[in-house]
Chains A and B, each alone.
Chain A
Amino acid sequence: MAESSNKKKGEPLVAVLLSWFLPGAGHLYLGRLGLGAAVFVLVEGLYIAGLMLSGGRTFEFLDPELRGALATALTPEVGNLGGLLWQLKNHGFGGPEPGPWPPNMMAGVWLTGLSGMLNALFLVHVHLEARTPSGHRPGGLQPALLVGSTWLVPGLGHLLQGRRLRGLVVFGLLVGFFAWGTWFAEGSNLSRERHFYYWSGQFLVGLPSIVTEWMSGRPRVTHELPWGDVGLLFGCMAGLLNVLAMLDVYGVAERRWFDARPASATAEGHGVAEAAAGVGADAETEAETVA
């Protein structure tokens, strides 16, 4: 009985690859039919809505010399690989003659980017789901939720984990650097059209970058920006460093998830934590940080 309950639900890598190409497919593979269908509808719905609003012209932002399939790999859309490939096949990089952007172009590119980020979070979820043995009673909050919180608001995931000091430091540092960079660049960094790749890094700051761009993005540049490059770098670095924050949150969340006592643990002590020991082999050497 204990042995059967300690089995993984499926191969994590298979589940992740399936979901990467077709959102929700990994959950279907693990037998989570309802969740898989919901993920598919949500992620692909966002992508399709984004394509409709932008006319699929996101990659026309790229300079002609940068246009190539690999050039799109450094975008948030890559989190939804199936959608990205579909867009490349059907819309590519546009025609030879540039035309005016659709009126809701920016909302469209936000939605496709959001679809990619959201699917990346579901990849985290499905990978963990595949490794969680049946009958295991997980500890702590769902790691994918915490990672998503950290993306949305740097430091929020730490706060939800009870790591208040770290959360405040992360928030102040990353949001501060993003704000500082925006000030240096005089808001010119808040444009995917103008700074395609820097924007992708900046998007990883989450809500601060989305809200700021929504409120005051794409300003008209009428003079030389002496600190424009510094601003771009700071904004982009804030987003990239938030990836480290997400990984930090995930590491602790994953350990708590598997360290909790299994509901079906036997008297002999064959707990699920042992079954999932490969997850965090170094966990014992690290100090517990429960506040």
Chain B
Amino acid sequence: MSPILAHILLFVALSAAIVVMGTFYSEPDDAVAFRAMPRRFGVFLVSCAVVAVVMLLAEHFFAAV
């Protein structure tokens, strides 16, 4: 497995933990929390991907040597 793929998979795993705990914190009801998790997980991953793309673009245009 390539290192970049491994790191992405590990990031996804850690993201899942963050989303689960974040949802538990904000939603006391278990049933509601579990229903909300998939959408929250998707939003979290897409948001992180957007941040990563912005950082890569910034590096490419402003910081690359």
Contacts and interface: CB of A to CB of B under 8 A. Distances in A.
Interface of A: 163, 165-166, 169-170, 173-174, 177, 230, 233-234, 237-238, 241, 244-245, 247-248, 251-252, 286-287, 289
Given A170-B24, A245-B24, A289 B29 contact: yes
B28 A287 contact: yes
A207 to B, nearest CB: 19
Nearest to B7: A230
Interface residues of B, number: 15
Main secondary structure of the interface of B (DSSP, over half): helix
Given A163-B30, A252-B28, A286-B28, A169 B20 contact: yes
B21 A166 contact: no
B58 interface: no
A166 B14 contact: no
Nearest to B10: A230
Contact of A247 (B17, B25, B30, B33): B25
Contacts of B38: none
Looking at A165, A166, A177, the one whose CB has the most chain B CB atoms below 10 A away is A166
A287 B7 CA distance: 38
B17 to A, nearest CB: 5
Nearest to A181: B14
B32 interface: yes
A89 to B, nearest CB: 37
A149 B10 CA distance: 29
B42 interface: no
Contacts of A163: 30
A289 B28 contact: yes
Contact of B25 (A169, A174, A244): A244
Nearest to A180: B13
- Which 6 A-B pairs rank lowest in CB-CB distance, beginning with the nearest? A287-B29, A241-B21, A244-B25, A244-B21, A248-B25, A289-B28
B17 A166 contact: no
17 contacts: A166-B24, A166-B30, A169-B20, A169-B24, A170-B24, A173-B17, A173-B21, A230-B7, A233-B14, A238-B17, A241-B17, A244-B21, A244-B22, A248-B24, A248-B25, A286-B28, A289-B29
Contacts of B33: 166
A235 B30 CA distance: 26
Contacts of B21: 170, 173-174, 241, 244-245
Looking at B17, B21, B28, the one whose CB has the most chain A CB atoms below 10 A away is B21
Contacts of B18: 237, 241
A237 B14 CA distance: 8
B30 A251 contact: no
A169 B14 CA distance: 15
Looking at A173, A177, A241, the one whose CB has the most chain B CB atoms below 10 A away is A241
